[in-house]
Amino acid sequence: MVEFLTSVPIPLLALFGGVFCFLCTSLGAGSVFFFKNSSQKVLTPLLASAGGVMIASSFFSLLQPAVEYCDGDALKQIVFVVLGFLAGGGFIAFSNHILDKKIFTLQIPNLQNYKRNLLLVGSITLHNIPEGMAIGVAFGCCAVGDVGAVVLALGLVLGIGLQNIPEGASVSIPLRRDGMKARQAFFWGAMSGIVEPLFALLACLLAMFVAPALPFLIAFSAGAIMIVALIELIPESLSGSKNLTILFVALGFCTMSLLDIVLG
């Protein structure tokens, strides 16, 4: 396995990571064939553990490398890392506000189902873009042959993939509930994740070949992933058992922390 990781080109690893997350989205969308409502007992540990993994990944796989790329230059750390992190988090927070608070609360008389469905699919698709970018940047900052950095990037992929499963279901199940056929609902639920492999590859190439912008790109992705976990995953998991949420957030975070210690 180690030899395989060191032999595969970094952009191809980023593409594989994005494809894995797309398949996880498809897996979640496939739940529409079995039931129309998702069980909170299943979603709580899944979302909570993914949130813990992504919080740890935002630091170990992204933010810490961004600081190291500044070579101890305090000005670069402030300009690239701090502002990049704030920009990434602000981008997600602003997108969440516009899409969830403005669009989905509009009261439009006789709003047809297909318009509602278009907004639903579109919002989740836009939400997946920074996740794909985070995957690409995580791999883009890996040196050739650096197995430890690659494994940490794979940990980020795992965290994003886990949260994509209920995300895919959150698209397909409402579409099915609105009367769409199961196959169509599955298709649109799966397609909401197709942007992840595309942006993973694009961000990886950008990170590899635009070196001066690398700290900012990494920090931007770290901020985006952190805010996704804090405003999407953990609050959603808290709608179930709070104790279970705390336990699985801690387990997810500790898993990534242990990986960093062992591989560091």
Got the DSSP string for 12-63? HHHHHHHHHHHHHHHHHHGGGGT-SS--HHHHHHHHHHHHHHHHHHIIIIII
Tokens of 226: 């952190």
Residues 59-78 have pLDDT tens digits of 877 788 788 878 778 888 88
Could you give the count of Cα atoms lying within 13 Å of 68 in the half-sphere of its Cβ? 9
Average pLDDT over residues 251-260: 79
* pLDDT band with cut points at 50, 70 and 90 for residue 36: low
CB 41 within 8 Å of CB 154? no
Q: In the prediction, which pLDDT does 158 show?
A: 84
Residues 105-154 have pLDDT tens digits of 444 444 445 555 665 576 667 667 878 888 888 887 776 556 677 777 88
Question: Which helix or strand (DSSP H or E) is residue 65 part of?
Answer: helix 64-68
Average pLDDT over residues 160-170: 79
How far is the first Cα of the chain from the last one, in angstroms, to the nearest whole number?
18
DSSP letters, 169-213, are HHHHHHHHHTT--HHHHHHHHHHTTTHHHHHHHHHHHHHHH-GGG
Q: In the prediction, which pLDDT does 110 show?
A: 40
Contacts of 199 (CB under 8 A, 6+ apart): 18, 129, 132, 133, 136
Tokens of 15: 């593409």
Give the span between the Cα atoms of 92 and 226, in whole angstroms. Answer: 9
Average pLDDT over residues 87-100: 77
Q: In the prediction, which pLDDT does 108 show?
A: 43
Residues 191-235 have pLDDT tens digits of 989 999 999 998 888 877 776 777 887 788 788 878 878 877 788
Q: In the prediction, which pLDDT does 112 show?
A: 47
Q: Which position has the token pair 């694009």?
A: 202
Q: In the prediction, which pLDDT does 16 show?
A: 93
